Every structure is written in structure tokens, then in C-alpha cells.
Amino acid sequence: MTKWFLIGLVALSCSHSSRSFVETRTNIHFLLIPAGQFQMGSIAADMHRVTISRPFYMGETEVTQAQWARLMGTNPSHFRAAGWNAPVESVTWFEVQEFIRRLNRLGEGHFRLPTEAEWEYACRAGTTTPYAFGTTLTMKQANFDGRDDPAAGENGEYRATTIPVGSFPPNAWGLYDMHGNVWEWCADEVCPYPTADVTDPFQRCGSRFKPIRGGSWYFGADSARSGLRYTHEPQWRGVSIGFRIVRDAS
């Protein structure tokens, strides 16, 4: 089988100035991501300036098996042995939309998948290097396959499975596992990057593919780069793809 198919607090306050929020049913913790600008893309031909005009809350971690089960009543994950605090995986983009629909019915705000631009902006956390931690990534910083990987800073333990979220240091904005563990679904479609500066892009072009970001336990360091985009058809599932969600700040 190829790697392609294997991808297969009670709220502190609802005020806009709150730096964090906790959804009470699932216990998903969110952190406020500030508005700002960044250079999006991974190669010179793709680079373009993006403005994120509004702050938003982003899940501190990938959605876990326990959080999924609390809302959906099931656990579709292949790696159940990794534990309830490991990320849920083997979920399609459409199943994630149903999770979000149920969450929104609870009345604690408007939740959704991040756009591809929001995801990269949050992953970079103000950095311009290939990774949020610098020019290289080690297996002491993220869960990926770094064995004999020239893009990895050093060799380390290859775990060959998902692991509990938050097992490594967060990026500068407090987000865990933006590199590795599982790929993460994004909301928009995979379209050619714009050639001019854009604000709050949400890409639609009739593509049948959705972006997935961040790399996974099965892939190497190169796939985990902040600016690397990979694709997946929304009806497919795989043992190395999960998601995290955002909550609108207003």
C-alpha cells in the first residue's frame, strides 16, 4: 500500500479579548490567534503575502479520540491502542463536517475547519523558517518518520503510530503538534495560489481535492514543513489524517 492511500475551562469569557476558550461538551481547548500578515507558500514561485484580518480561536491540539467520541459516540481510529488522548484519525472531510455541525448546535460559538491560510499562519506563529522551530525538525520536536531523513535535524525514535497530543513542545503561539502526528484537514479547496496579495483567502475553484497540512507519523520531515501543502479527496480516509478546528472570535 502506498503512502498516498495511508494518508487515507468552561469558557473563561466570550469577550473578544479572552486569550483562551474551552468548549464544555468536548473539552477542546482553544487559543486566540491574533490578526496579522505573513508570506504563505514554500517555494519562491508560490510565495504571496496574506493578511489575516480578524483574530480567531484555534484548537490547542488536534481533536482527540476522546473528544470525537464524546460528541459522535464512536471511535473510528485505527490506532486505538495509542489511547484516548491520541488524535482521532481515519475520518473523512465529510465526517469532520458532521462533527462540526453537531458542535455548532450546542450554542457555544461558531466552529469550523481552518482555511489553508489560517492553518499555515498559525503553524508559522510569526516564523519564516521551514519549521516553527527553525530550519530543521527533530523527532524530539514532533512525531514523524525521521529515519535517515536529510530534512530532519537528527535521527531519533520512530514511533510508527500516533501518540497522545501535546507530547512535544508547542510553537510560539502555544499550539501543539502543528508538525507531525496526523495530517490535518482544511476547509477550502486546493487551487493555484494567487499571484497578488490577498486578505482572508478561502479558495474555491471547483477542485475535487482538499488541502491537508502538517505531515504525520508516517511521512518525513519535508512533508511537515509549515508551507508544504498536500492534498486528499474529501471522501477518503486514512490512518494518518485527522484534524483540528477553529472557533470564530466574533
Pairing of strands 246-248, 111-112: antiparallel
Q: Band the pLDDT of 9: cuts 50, 70, 90.
A: very low
Task: Identify the H or E element spanning 96.
Answer: helix 93-104
- Averaged pLDDT score across all residues of the chain: 91
| pLDDT surpassing 60 at residue 196 | yes
Write the pLDDT tens digit of every residue in 205-239.
999 999 999 999 999 999 999 999 999 999 999 99
How many CB atoms lie under 10 A from the CB of residue 45? 9
Question: Average pLDDT for residues 131-156, to the nearest whole number?
Answer: 87
Question: Average pLDDT for residues 71-80, to the nearest whole number?
Answer: 98
Write the pLDDT tens digit of every residue in 31-70.
999 999 999 998 888 899 999 999 999 999 999 999 999 9
Segments forming the whole domain that contains residue 57: 1-250
6 neighbors 239 (Cβ within 8 angstroms): yes
228 neighbors 215 (Cβ within 8 angstroms): yes
3-state DSSP percent of the chain in helix, strand and coil, to 5: 15, 20, 65
Measured CA distances, 214 to 1, 155, 217 (Å) = 21, 19, 10
Return the pLDDT at 45. 81
| pLDDT surpassing 80 at residue 201 | yes
Q: Band the pLDDT of 150: cuts 50, 70, 90.
A: confident
| pLDDT surpassing 70 at residue 17 | no
| pLDDT surpassing 50 at residue 2 | no
Radius of gyration of the chain (CA): 17
The rounded distance, in Å, linking the Cα atoms of 125 and 118 is 11
Percent residues over pLDDT 90 in the chain: 85
CA 154 remoteness from chain centre: 24
How many CB atoms lie under 10 A from the CB of residue 107? 6
Write the pLDDT tens digit of every residue in 230-246.
999 999 999 999 999 99
The rounded distance, in Å, linking the Cα atoms of 122 and 58 is 8
| pLDDT surpassing 50 at residue 16 | no
How many CB atoms lie under 10 A from the CB of residue 97? 15
Return the pLDDT at 14. 36
- The pTM is what? 0.92
| pLDDT surpassing 80 at residue 78 | yes
Instruction: List the one residue out of 203, 169, 140 whose CA is nearest residue 60.
Output: 169
Question: Average pLDDT for residues 68-79, to the nearest whole number?
Answer: 98
The rounded distance, in Å, linking the Cα atoms of 73 and 57 is 25
Return the pLDDT at 32. 98
Question: Average pLDDT for residues 125-129, to the nearest whole number?
Answer: 97
Question: Average pLDDT for residues 164-185, to the nearest whole number?
Answer: 98
CATH number at residue 196: 3.90.1580.10
What is the number of structural domains in the chain?
Answer: 1
